[in-house]
Amino acid sequence: MVQEEQDFNKMWSDLGMDVAAHNSLLDAVGQMYETVFLTQKNRPKSTTYLDNFANNLHSGRIREMVDARKDGKTKKIIGSFCLYVPEEIVIAAGGIEVGLCAGANWNTDEAERYIPRNTCPLIKGFMGFKLGRVCPYIESADLVVGENTCDGKKKAYEQFSKMKPMYVMDVPHVRNNNTKEIWRQEIYRFAEKMEDETGQKITLESLSRAIKLVNDKRRALQRLSMTRAADPAPISGLDSLLTIQAAFMDDSARLTQAINALAAECEERAATGVGVKPHGAKRVLYTGTPMAVPNWKFFNIIEKCGGVVVGEECCTGSRYYKDLVPEDGKTVEEMLDAIADRYLNIHCAIFTPNQDRRDDVISMAHRLHVNGVIDCSLQFCTLYDMESFSMEEAVQKAGIPYMHISTDYSTEDEGQLKTRVEAFLEMI
């Protein structure tokens, strides 16, 4: 990853960004990327797409979106932090949905003027990025869509909304017939909001195309995921994580083509016994909190310790792609209902009870032939910390070794984490 070209400075400045601070951020992330990704051995050749994506993340991709809005090819740029915001609806209304910066410490002291110190790093991250004016995705967004998936987020959004136009979705925390109807109505309200925001009506044709577009991306990711059952694993957990991170930010059609090419190469590698780690390397399933760009710390530690992450049960993993929206809807209402059903089936830790998530972890562990499960939560994430107890009980009952980790975005605990991971890999 190299420094973005200087001719993007005007674009960043026009977006209202602090260009000097942003260049410092790019330097730091670029060095991190080189250390974490470009030192990996025997990567699939198709991962060059991921390297190019990372290199253009704050430059070429932003210009592409801004130019599309200027030229009328897209109506609005819609930013989001969560899987529960339906891409299909944004696209059908003529918008672009993109994930927002939240995966690193930045301007933390300023963020703590608005939110408590004992708030999870992800929330502090997006507040710090906004206050520091260093995230072009936040600054280019016409609207930010949030959701009430945790108390910290929904209260932070009250502060964030003073700095950026916001719309917050109400996600149920239990599943029953009553909440299913509430969520269905929430999806309808969101569709109306997108139509109002973009000035474009959602039609049968536009929604059908959007569902197919997003499903194709999910199918490509499913295809790539299936190759990771092979031993040796044909692709690293780090590169797999990056494909999901790209899925939140990159052009869907272009990324789908790239992931299918990567999956085809990984299928060939699996068939011929070519992998990123030796045969018999300890195989780990990750579950827990999502990892926004550039949070690559924990996967890097696992794989530098000789293990290989072969699956992720999290929002930056299987939850993003495992279920499709049915494509046989005959009316806009039928398709919106199908979208509502699909998104309510995301097994986030917000739900109680949440046996479905535990079942997903155990099923993935068997399918991917893992040696152990590592459950990781960001510090002060009550949802995942609390659920780690029931997760440990379920996983160990299934006869699978388990370890829980709590960490943040800093490098201060890397030595401790390395020691714990090494011991776990040796034990399994």
- pTM comes to 0.96
Does 425 reside within a domain? no
Q: Domain range spanning residue 95?
A: 6-201
Q: What is the mean pLDDT of the chain?
A: 97
Does 117 reside within a domain? yes
For 196-255, how does the pLDDT look when each residue is reduced to its tens digit (9 = 90+)? 999 999 999 999 999 999 999 999 999 999 999 999 999 999 999 999 999 999 999 999
Give me the pLDDT at residue 242, please.
98
Say if residues 317 and 336 touch (Cβ distance below 8 Å).
Answer: no
Q: Is the pLDDT of residue 4 over 80?
A: no
Does 186 reside within a domain? yes
Give me the pLDDT at residue 7, please.
84
Q: Please name which of 305, 296, 287, 332 lies closest in space to residue 192, comparing C-alpha atoms.
A: 332
Cross-strand pairs, 308: 283
* Average confidence (pLDDT) over 10-36: 97
Provide the CATH number for the domain around residue 142. Answer: 3.40.50.11890
Q: Is the pLDDT of residue 352 over 70?
A: yes
Q: Is the pLDDT of residue 158 over 50?
A: yes
Say if residues 263 and 220 touch (Cβ distance below 8 Å).
Answer: yes
Does 62 reside within a domain? yes
Say if residues 8 and 63 touch (Cβ distance below 8 Å).
Answer: yes
* Average confidence (pLDDT) over 310-327: 98
Give me the pLDDT at residue 253, please.
98
Per-residue three-class SS string for 133-202: CCCHHHHHCCEEEEECCCHHHHHHHHHHCCCCCEEEECCCCCCCHHHHHHHHHHHHHHHHHHHHHHCCCC
Cross-strand pairs, 79: 98, 144
Tally of domains in the chain: 1
Give me the pLDDT at residue 32, please.
97
Residue 3: pLDDT band with limits 50, 70, 90: very low
Q: How far apart are CA 49 and CA 265, in angstroms?
A: 13
Q: Is the pLDDT of residue 2 over 80?
A: no
Does 391 reside within a domain? no
Concatenate the DSSP letters of all residues of 105-139 into one string: --SHHHHTTTS-TTS-HHHHHHHHHHHHT--HHHH
Does 131 reside within a domain? yes
Does 173 reside within a domain? yes
For 255-297, how does the pLDDT look when each residue is reduced to its tens digit (9 = 90+)? 999 999 999 999 999 999 999 999 999 999 999 999 999 999 9
Give me the pLDDT at residue 1, please.
40
Does 216 reside within a domain? no
Residue 48: pLDDT band with limits 50, 70, 90: very high
Give me the pLDDT at residue 6, please.
56
